[in-house]
Structure 1
Amino acid sequence: MTSYTSTAPQPSEQGWFSRSESWLDSKGKGAWIAAMVLGFVFFWPVGLALLFYMIWSKRMFSKSCSTRRKSWARHGMSAMTPSGNSAFDAYKADTLQRLEQEQHDFEAFLQRLRAAKDKSEFDEFMHERALQNDDEAIELDDEDDDDSSSRRSKRH
C-alpha cells in the first residue's frame, strides 16, 4: 500500500503588495509608470521606491514595447500573404499595383517640380548677374569718360 502526503504548501491569501503588483502587471507598463508618477506627486519617497523597484525587477525595461513593434511588423507583412480568396487577392494585387503607379507618378511630378524650381532659380541668378555686369559696365564707362575728360583738360 502506498501512502500519499501532500508536500505542496496550501494556497494562502496574497498580501496587499503581491495583489497590487499583480494588478499593476495585468494593466501593463503604463500603470506602473502612472503609479510611480502619482507616488512622486503625493509623497516623493514612494515614487522613488517604485522607480527603484521597477528597475530592479526589470519592469522598466520589459519587452512589452518591442513585442508591440514586432506585431506591427507582422501585421504589415500580412498584406503580402495570399488570403485564399482568389477574387480578393486579384483585387488586392490590382490596388497595390495602382498605388505603386500613383507613387511613381507622384515622385516623377515632384522631380519635374524640383527641376522647374531649380531652373527658375538659376534663370533668376543669371538675370541678376547680367544686371550686375551691365551696372559694372556702365560704371566703367563713366569712369573712362571721367578719365578721358580729365586727360583732355590737362592737355588744353
Structure 2
Amino acid sequence: MNQSALIRPDWTPATIALMVLGFIVFWPLGLAMLAYILFGDKLRAFKKDANEGVDRMCAGFRRHQHRAHWAHHRTGNVAFDDWREAELRRLDEERRKLDEMREEFDAYVRELRRAKDQEEFDRFMRERKNGREGSAPGFEAH
C-alpha cells in the first residue's frame, strides 16, 4: 500500500474534507467516507477472507459442473472420447492436488502468524514483568 497516497483510510485533512463534503452533498456519501476512514484497512483483509471462503465453498460445485458438462458431449470417436475423459480425470486429480497444497500452505501461514503472535505476546509479558521488578517499592503498576 502506498503510504503517501492522499486518500488513505486515516484521519488526514483530505479524508476529513471529503467526509464533510459528503455529508453536505448527500449524507450517505459522508457516512461512507467515515466508514472508509474507520474501517478501510480492514476491508482488504475482509474481502480476501470472504473471497477465499466463497472459493472453497464453490470449488466442489465447479468440479462437479465441469464433469457433468463434458460427460454428455461425445464426439462419436471412441478413442478421442476415451483420451479426453482420461485427460479430464488427470486434470481433476491435478486440481485436487493443487487445492490440497493451497490448504496446506494456508495452514502453514496461519501457524506462522500464530507463532509470531505468541512470540510478540511472550516478549510483551517479559517486558511487563521486567518493568514491574524495576519499579519503586510500594508502587504497584496496574
> For the superposition of Structure 1 and Structure 2, which TM-score range results when normalised by the shorter chain?
0.3 to 0.5
| Structure of higher RCO (CA pairs closer than 8 Å, 6+ residues apart) | 2
Q: TM-score, normalised by structure 1?
A: 0.40
Q: TM-score, normalised by structure 2?
A: 0.44
Bigger Cα Rg:
1
